[in-house]
Amino acid sequence: MSQDKEIPSIGSGIFSMTGFGREELKAPGLRISVEIRSVNSRFCEIGMKIPRELNAVEADIRDHLRSRITRGKISLLIALERDSANDEALKIDFQMANNCYQTLQELNQSLGNPGPVTLGQLLHFSDFFTQETERTLDETLKKQALAALDGALADLVQMRRSEGVVLAQDLLQRLSHIESTLGEIEKLAADQPMMQLERLRERLELLVAPGLVEPGRLELEMAILADRLDITEECVRLRSHCQHYREALGGAEPAGKLLGFLLQEMNREVNTISSKAAIPEISHFCVNLKEEIERMREQIQNLE
């Protein structure tokens, strides 16, 4: 079965915030390796460790990452390995070496030591020796580094997409459960006023002598109860939030923040329904809905 048939209702904007990507690019005398990791974060945070030769394109690298990732804590590592044949020869600062030689000569004279300053003595002072290779960023290296970054980034995005699809599938299943539970609540809610009226009638028969209840009083109480126990508006709003939630999961934009807001509103409606519940079964269903919403809240913490 193709992936499109498996996830027809999951939009292209759904990604997890966790993932890993790696790419290695080989060129004559050079190997570039790139690793990218991402974890959950409210914002797009980028930390990177790159060679000094690439410092000039650090801003370009950040823009490159932000063009593909909107949320998550990103850790980027770029390493350059060159063949030893490409390394430059040992460099000597001859001016510093001469200054050192002259200083040692003066020291010998001041101490009354007639011996000459030898090369062995100079080698104890290594400040004028350096193996650091001074390299500058050329256009070829820049293109190679960005190409390796693209490869690692593609791996990372693919992993984030795969995990995001799994999360979205789970969320859709839980959403369907919420909608079916809401249907059961609506069926029970239709009987709430009549059941409460019967209870009221039974209590009045026990507490009040026959004929003392004013005509029409029970009907008035029934109207008040019906209004107080009516959860139609809450159920309509909850279904609307569920529909928006489903649409967000099917959209082309990152939906993590929107889904979090919708869950807050869904939880608000469930709390109101629970407060109006006069039937124990409705209260039990509301507890189940709250648990499901909380599980969904935990899941969306991983969505971009």
Domain boundaries, given as residue ranges, for the chain = 3-86+146-160, 91-130, 164-300
Q: How many angstroms separate the Cα of 88 from the Cα of each of 26, 36, 131, 135?
A: 20, 31, 8, 10
Supply the pLDDT for residue 180.
Answer: 96
Supply the pLDDT for residue 189.
Answer: 82
Encode pLDDT of 73-87 as tens digits: 999 999 999 876 555
- Pair of tokens at residue 27: 């060129």
Domain 164-300 has CATH 1.10.3470: no
Least confident of 34-43, 78-87, 143-152, 289-298: 78-87
Q: What is the DSSP letter of 254?
A: -
- Three-state DSSP class for residue 21: strand
Question: With bands split at pLDDT 50, 70 and 90, how would you rate the model's confidence at 268?
Answer: very high
Least confident of 195-204, 244-253, 278-287: 195-204
Supply the pLDDT for residue 3.
Answer: 40
Supply the pLDDT for residue 29.
Answer: 84
Least confident of 104-108, 211-215, 253-257: 211-215
Buried b (16+ CB within 10 A) or exposed e, 165-204: bebbbebbebbeebeebbeebbebbeebbeebbeeeeeeb
Instruction: Classify residue 54 by burial, with Cβ atoms within 10 Å: 0-12, 13-18, 19+.
Output: buried
**Does the model's pTM come out above 0.85?**
no
